[in-house]
Amino acid sequence: MDAPDTELKKELKATLQARSELGAEYESALVESFLEKVEQRLDGTLDRRVRRHLAEQQIVVARGARAPEPPLGHFGERYGFGIISLVLAIPLSAIGVANAGIDGLVVAWLGIVGVNAFQAVHGGRLFRRREKERRTASDWED
């Protein structure tokens, strides 16, 4: 157990003790105050981690290596692609039903599932390959 955890436990005990002394009418203010301290602690921890990560990347770049690329199929990429697919599924379904009934709906959803399956299998490899080719081509132009 490190010192900040001990400090946070002391704050929690003090908050609970103050609640028992002051009564339930101050409960929301006490809880908000404690949560604010927890949020500050989390913000400080996150700031340290981000600074450390950026420093590590700068060291890698300074040594002549390229900064590490995010893994294929990075969570944000997959999550965003899924959301876009669901948003576009609504008008595509409506268009399919309006033009061809249930058959149009089935075709629309087969297309949506097919695109998502392709994305799941191939991730962002195609886009990254094009970006690497573009980067390599521009390196020769200088």
Q: Residue 141: what pLDDT?
A: 43
| Maximal CA-CA distance, the chain | 74
Q: Residue 70: what pLDDT?
A: 54
Q: Residue 130: what pLDDT?
A: 53
CA distance 107 to 98: 13
Band the pLDDT of 32: cuts 50, 70, 90.
Answer: confident
Task: Check: CB of residue 98 under 8 Å from CB of residue 104.
Answer: yes
Q: Domains of the chain: which residue ranges?
A: 3-62, 75-141
Task: Check: CB of residue 117 under 8 Å from CB of residue 81.
Answer: no
Task: Check: CB of residue 124 under 8 Å from CB of residue 72.
Answer: yes
CA distance 13 to 131: 54
Band the pLDDT of 131: cuts 50, 70, 90.
Answer: low
End-to-end alpha carbon distance in the chain: 54
CA distance 70 to 85: 22
Band the pLDDT of 140: cuts 50, 70, 90.
Answer: very low
Give the range with max mean pLDDT: 24-28, 51-55, 83-87: 51-55
